[in-house]
Each structure stands twice: as C-alpha cells, then as structure tokens.
C-alpha cells in the first residue's frame, strides 16, 4: 500500500467549518483532530473560534496570515484540553492552552500556529520562535511548562503527516 500524496496547492485558501484556512493548515488540522478523536472516549470534533487570514480583536495580528487557529474549549474537560494541545503539537503546531480571565468569559481556547508556515504573519512568526525557545508565545514571554513531543516536528502537506526533525 503506497503513501498518500497530497497534490493540492498548500497555500490555496479554503473555507472549512466556518473559518478560512489554507490547504496546508487544514490538512494538519484534519490529521491532528483524527488522532485526538481516535484516542479518547466521547470526544467531539473541534470547534474553531478563529482561523487564518482574519483579524480577531484579541489575536494581536497572529491570525492575519496563514497557519493560525483557535480551538474553543467551552464544554471540554481538562483532559480533553491537554489532549487538544498535545495533538496540535504532534502535528507540527506551536500550540498553547489560553485559559482564564485574561481571555474573557467563556473564551478559553487552544491557540496554534503551524510551524514553518510561509504566509504566517510577523506576530505568528514571533510565536514560532517563542515556542522553539520553550516560551508561551505571549507578550510577557513566560516559560511554557506544557509537555512537548520528544523531537521537534513539522507538517508535510505533500505526505499528509508530521515529519520529525
């Protein structure tokens, strides 16, 4: 059985589940969500709060380019929140849980930026650097203590899977 090869243009913009992404970001999200759903009981598909190529009021410009996503946590257990961040990171996202009063009422979410995305905004690229440095991607540049994959990963759109670096 041969390897699945994705021949679509990785940076072609697409609408998916009410948000705009590009084919590369969408393929990474499809893979990560499939892993998330297959490894837990009673898990529901992710609900996206914000995609890419948008200018949400709290995103500080990180969503204005490609590779960005927010996955909402309303009604999701602490274990499911951790699993969401875990599978985003395993797919090749710089990802963090954004929780607490700083994010407003009922606005807890996972925020992710697909590492190495060519059309990511300047702010998103700064978050990629922050992630690689073990930081939280916020203006205060705090330490990120969330577990990470043992080896760094990047998303291969062509191969439809993460590649260990």
Enclosing domain of residue 62: 13-143
**What is the number of domains present in the chain?**
1
Question: How confident is the model over 84-108, as a mean pLDDT?
Answer: 88
Distance CA 99, CA 94 (A): 16
Residue 17 in domain: yes
pLDDT at residue 3 in the model: 53
Q: Is residue 7 part of a domain?
A: no
Is there a domain that residue 33 lies in? Answer: yes
Is 47 within the bounds of a domain?
yes
Q: How far apart are CA 70 and CA 93, in angstroms?
A: 12
Domain harbouring 64, CATH code:
3.30.1380
For the whole prediction, is pTM greater than 0.85?
Answer: yes
Q: Which of 153, 49, 33, 22 is nearest to 92 (CA)?
A: 153
Over residues 70-89, mean pLDDT: 95
Q: Do residues 103 and 90 lie in contact, with contact meaning Cβ atoms separated by under 8 Å? A: no
Whole-number pLDDT of residue 80: 95
Instruction: Decide if 163 is inside a domain.
Output: no
CB-based contact 22:14 (threshold 8 Å): yes
**Is 3 a member of any domain?**
no
Percent of the chain with pLDDT over 70: 93
């Amino acid at each position: 059985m041969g390897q699945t090869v994705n021949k679509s243009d990785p940076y072609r913009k697409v609408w998916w589940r009410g948000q705009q992404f590009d084919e590369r970001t969408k393929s990474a999200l499809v893979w990560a969500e499939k892993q998330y759903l297959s490894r837990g009981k009673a898990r529901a598909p992710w609900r996206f709060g914000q995609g890419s190529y948008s200018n949400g009021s709290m995103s500080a410009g990180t969503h204005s380019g490609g590779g960005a996503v927010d996955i909402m946590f309303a009604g999701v257990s602490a274990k499911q929140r951790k699993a969401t961040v875990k599978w985003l990171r395993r797919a090749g996202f710089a990802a963090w849980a954004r929780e607490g009063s700083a994010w407003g009422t009922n606005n807890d979410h996972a925020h992710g930026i697909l590492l190495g995305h060519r059309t990511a905004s300047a702010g998103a690229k700064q978050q990629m650097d922050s992630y690689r440095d073990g930081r939280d991607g916020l203006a205060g540049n705090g330490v990120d203590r969330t577990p990470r994959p043992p080896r760094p990963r990047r998303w291969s759109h062509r191969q439809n899977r993460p590649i260990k670096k």
